A and B are shown apart, each in its own frame.
Chain A
Amino acid sequence: MKFKRVFIIALIIRLLLAPLFYHPDIKSQNFHFQFLSQGQFNIYQYIYDNKNHLPYRDTFNYLPLTYLTFGSLQTFQKIILPPDFTQWLNDWGGSQYSYANLPYFLLILKIPYIFLDLLIGYLLYKISASKKVLYFWLFNPFSFYLIYIVENFDILPVFLTLLSYYLIKSKPSLSFLIFGFAIAFKFYPLIFLPFFLLYQSKNLLKMIKYSIIATIPTILSVIPYASSPAFWQSFFGSGLTQKIIELRFYQIPVFPVIYLIILFFCFLSKKIDLPFQIFLLFLLFISTVNFHPQWILWFLPFVFLLKNIFHPRFFFTLLLLTILILLYVFLINDNYLTWGHLIPIDPEFLLISSPYEVIKNHFGINPQLIQNYVKLSIAFVSFLSAIIYEKNSSRHLS
């Protein structure tokens, strides 16, 4: 099939389905982004000062570059957004899901996601030189779920980290600058940074140089806010750091310890397979952290770059992992992660009991217990998939 046709079909599917799914994050984030067009440069201080008058009172827990970029973007999007968009953004009452234009709000807000999603597909093709990888990215329901149903701006840092990987050998300084922009949008790429540095070069001076380059965008974008206590207060309200150290063994946090072990082995290896290293982080992450589904997207493009990804046995374990991850997510006590996604089709979907409620009320079983078993299964299948991948790779090399 010709490229043009593939991208057009992918685009049609996205244009048809993207307006039908909702998650409250897209609304709460855009609620905050709207204040940029009202001249509020320091969103953190603004929310702190006006907390009692705002219809939505949660703090803005993201970095300044996120606010400035998506706030500016929203100003342009407002040109084509229906006139009742601002009213919807500020409506947090019972009627917030009854806006007939809701699917259009969502579609227009997701246009940048569609653009970045297709670009990721293109980059994956450029890196892997495999049409199969491209088709798999564009037409697999899991990435669609993470980008358009869980819908978060994480797709932007994800694109930037992938672009950074694409450029890392040919233009390392530019690559780390782009990586730095990804960090300035969201801190999570910091988890990948040591691996990117080792992959580029094990020369200490070079590693220091690229580390400095990677921190420049964050430092520059944070400086104007550094004197604002509201910024620090809001920013450290986010939960990832807490979640990473939540699982402990004899008071020792599991994730950081295994992370350091993976990093150590990466340092020792002669030839670093970066997508595999990130795949290991992914396995560690889903096995030891109580993750939110949107966080899975951070790793996903790198999973697509694994060698032998389509090897039947390995592919089966990936499929099994995907099913377990979805099962884990559907057992979270939050109807917005199940039926709530379908609010744009019909707000009455919210009246349907979530799997959590069904298990608890109809079967009298604690859903968290099942979730713990699912988590254990995720850890087991993760371990298995790492072994299968290693076996396949060594056979492939020999």
Chain B
Amino acid sequence: MKYSSLWIVLQRMRLPFTVIVISYVIAMIGFLIIPGVDDAGKEYFLTIFDAFYFVTYTATTIGFGETPYTFTHDQRIWASISIYLTVISWFYGIGSLVSLLQDKLFLSEIAMARFQNSVNNIKEDFVILLGYNDTTSEITKKLLDSNMRVVVVEIDQARANYLMLEGFTPHVPVLVKDAHNAEALELAGIKSIHCRGIVSLFETNILNLRVTLASKILNPHVKVVVRSSTDNDTGNLLDAGADIVENPFNIIAYQLQMALYGSSLFKLKNWLYKIDALDGKSFSIPSENIIICGYGRLGETLYKMFIKNNISPTVIEHNRVIFNRAKKDGVEKLINGNAEDKFTLKEAKIDEAKLIFVGTNNDTTNLSIVSTVKKLNKDTVIIARENELSDFSIFSHAKIDHIFLPSKILIHKTVNALINPLSDTLIRMIARKDEQWGSELLSNLIKNIGVDPVTFELNINKNEAEQIYNHIKQNNTLKLFELRRSRRDRNQHNNIIPLLIIRKDKEILLPSFDEAIELEDKILFACDDNGKEDLEYISNNMYEFHYIIHGEENRYFTNIIKNKFKGDKK
């Protein structure tokens, strides 16, 4: 179907072409038959070419004049007839062509052909994003920054136009099609060997599930990253084969749970999600007098998390139906009212509350609740949920103690999953640790590197760490402390802390510097920019690696010459 747009043109133009040819022929034959009179008065017949020439500039209404000699009366009669005949058929042909080119179906065919061409021309790793909104727009920017190409499928033409206006470099092809349709995924290149992942962050879980199923059938090697909002859906999605299931509400609940036990794990997680630096503000969660505003998906998840930790928060819910559901769930301290109301808040004992969580899915409501709370109790710790992602945020100026953005969490988790899979694994492993472990790691990181370390993942394979790979392949041992050496002076060391090693059969958390590196290891480092640069050089550059290991410059070429001379001498 590659040239289908061309075929449509040809098919629709058959009749117009035929009409033009026939009208030309009739006119030409007339001119060939009717004799003319030349300037000497003799009779002559136009040649075929003369007839063709005259008819051509008559049909296209150019009208040079009567050639080769002035026409006789008979010739002029025929000329008049042929004008009406040929001009009308010519306009009919042009008109058909123009209306064809403006045909919506035709234009969409061309757009699809152009899209397919762009996707086929991508010879690097790429990711398919479904839907274009603020969240996926940020994901696109971050992926493009990390040298990962992006292909977008969006159902709405207006949003697709907005994406084209952004003018991303390198080019981001966009297809306007409903992602429900498995053909859309195929056109987007899911079967290509370069496709590394597909991201479906729709609000409706049914669509995410459908995408997961279709993707796994079309190409099981593609990583499927989907969003989920309930535990039930998460289960379904994992059963369908999804690789990463992101439930932003669960993530927020886990974050708060971590904050319950101590701030270090919370800060580490924030740092890994790139939400905040290691010295970010933290807060402690009290064990009582907590209010949750809104029992939606987020409120419910939070409530269940608090109950699990033996805390019973008060829940305020405005909507009658949800209120009944909360009652059925067994919420003890439940108030049916609008949290923006002073009266409702007073009923919830706002003056005693130590922490209030404002988590409805409407930003205006949240801001209004926040301002009311501040008037009633200045000391309450306020945590708010911000739904929309925008450059200028009222929330950040509202002096709220902590803001959760589900969109931002989705962005970072998706980007992590696609580009830094080890960071994702580390986050999961941290969740099971205790506060003491966390504070040790935290102080270690801050002391040795800084408040905002960079993470760097290194795969020990031929592609990414050629020198290390070759070195180990030749039966040499290489320990982690070698990688810590500075390129400037191998007796100095860079600010690097290895966080995680993943091998085929095990995972080593916080490996010691004595650990020996093996082939196909995946190592996650925390370092500063200088350390990262040195690591990249050492792993791949022959001369740097040699210096690090042997402490002297690589005399590769002089050695060759030396050996040659040695041989000659002998």
Q: Do A and B bind each other?
A: no
Please list the residues of chain A having a beta carbon within 8 angstroms of any beta carbon in chain B. none
